[in-house]
Structure 1
Amino acid sequence: MSIKAIAIFDIDGVIRDVGGSYRRALADTVEHFTQGRYRPSPTDIDQLKAEGSWNNDWEASQEFIYRYFEARGKAREAIALDFDAIVDFFQRRYRGPMLEDPAQWTGYITQEPLLVTPQYFEHLTEGDVAWGFFSGATRGSAKFILEQRLGLVEPLLIAMHDAPSKPDPTGFFQAAERLGGGADVPILYAGDTVADMQTVQRAKDQRPDGVWLGVGILPPHVVAAGAAYAAEYGDRLKAAGADMVVPQLTELTVTAITHLCEQA
């Protein structure tokens, strides 16, 4: 196949709606470790992630807890937090009991709405667009959604622990290279956070000979919040480097990808 472009996708907020799963587990975790005194709102979570440093929801949970107690006069070094305990609580909410077999998972992950169908990826292949995934999700969680829920057959996946966290572009580079990327093939990354777009910017900085494109995807909770908030969120993604912003991944068609690449 002659590749005209490579499309690499984030998963959370792009392939699956995590408003009632990852984000709910994050809020549950913060509420638990602040003894029920604080539960971050969806806007609170967006604002934290807009800083670009909190792609990992376990670390974001911990940061919210630290900031809650700091705002009440406690020094961070005096706040006794067990990161493993935070991860364990989060995962029990998100996955359910800590079983390795995805068939036995009972947590919020089982309720995640899908935002695309397998046909979307078939159309990309038919249009000579190679595709894969680069996500900060655990490999088990990512494979659960991609293979068991979407029915994709062993798609290319760079997940947590395969590469440093975004906005470090290492995982982006790994995915691009494994999909056959070269200096003459435009490579785009579609994600829903500031860190995702910063990943593309760092790729441009580190490998300026390549054609690296960022596509911002508005996550469902942002679209549901109304036009004004969606526009504000989209502006954040553009400020972080998005070359285009769309309200859902299905609008990133082969035609749209071709047009974006021609403009690059």
Structure 2
Amino acid sequence: MESINRNRPNDAIQKQSELSTLIGKTQESIASGKSFSRPSEAPSSWLEISSLGRKAAIENSWLNNIGRAGIMAQQAESSIDTISSGSIRAKELVIQGNNGTLSPEDRAVIANELDNLRVQFNQLTQAQDSYGGQLFHAGDPIEMRIDTNVLVTPSPNFQTVAQSIDIGGGTSDLDTIMDEMITAIRTGTATDRADQLGRADSLINHFSNLLANQGMLVNRLDDQENRLQKSQLTSSERRTVLESTDVTEAVSRFQSLLVNLEAAQRLYAKSTSTTLMQLIP
């Protein structure tokens, strides 16, 4: 007597094959720690992972810009701070030079110190940054992107630092202000020397404002760097969740698949041993 299995679809065989494939994939998932190995196995997760990858690449470029801008900004802050302190010292020297009891020799000593400050200021405003360019370059400010539609200028340009300094009713450049200050102390009249007090105050105000702005920029770059690092950490954690195998769930699924496979095999074995005569009442 022929087995009825010859007249029935191979559903049972197909079911066993599918279960065996799923068991193999589950074993591989547990062993590798990866929840899938091909995009087709988890299309939605793969798309999200791809999106996270693109986001990470963009954020890395922003972080690189922030790193470069941060170095330039801190160098500029240090230089401006030195000039700001020098401006305060220049005012102290101008006040000393206004003392009517000083001899020409005394004023010459004060003028020499002012001249040293002038040389130092010129060196600082002409200094190069850590990348070989001018720290305070001439022309339009250099801008760096640190986020979508967000650009920053790591250091002010030369015009902002050393030129167009407000001296009350007009503007002048740093070197000219220092030159006139030195000349007034060395050979000028009492009126000339008194006029330099206002110019010394203008220098102090100018570089104090620049220093404050530069400090805020450095803090802004630090805050943005921290924000992007947190964003990347969140993305990395999310990617790990998408890619990694949930071992507890996978083991449970593996055991369930084994039970189903054993049941399918028993059912198939039983059906193959059943003859047509056994099914006729």
Higher alpha-carbon Rg: 2
State the TM-score, normalizing by the size of structure 2: 0.22
Q: Tell me: higher relative CO, structure 1 or 2? Use CA pairs within 8 A at least 6 residues apart.
A: 2
TM-score by length of 1: 0.23
